[in-house]
Amino acid sequence: MLITVSIIFIALGIAIKYGKMYFLIAGYNTMPEKEQKKYNIDGIASVFRNAMFGMSLIMILGYFISKWIENPKIQMYALLGAILIGLPYLLIVSNLDIYKIKKED
């Protein structure tokens, strides 16, 4: 199951960054077009890709480590660790001011 979740995260990261499926980013698709132009969506998409790939890597490593030392609980720890590290990273970094386009008046 952990490998399946990892593959889904990788697919989402690719879809958001390279498939330009920005509607998967919560809140972005509901913004008026005028508001959307205030954000560097390519930069935000890169953050989403990196976060998804990072969380996927943690889960895949957890899977193989759990098989190596024969302890299935490590898979759950890897999943929880990936989420507890990845989601705050995603929320904090994607909301930084560097992704807002500053208009010169």
Note the pTM of the prediction, 2 decimals.
Answer: 0.85
Q: Could you tell me which residues come within 8 angstroms of residue 35 by beta carbon, excluding any fewer than 6 positions away? A: none
Find the radius of gyration of the CA atoms of the chain.
Answer: 16
Q: Is the pLDDT of residue 105 over 80?
A: no
pLDDT, one tens digit per residue, over 9-26 is: 999 999 999 998 988 888
* Residue 95: both structure tokens together: 């909301």
Domain layout of the chain by residue ranges: 2-99
- Cα–Cα nearest to 57, from 84, 78, 77: 78
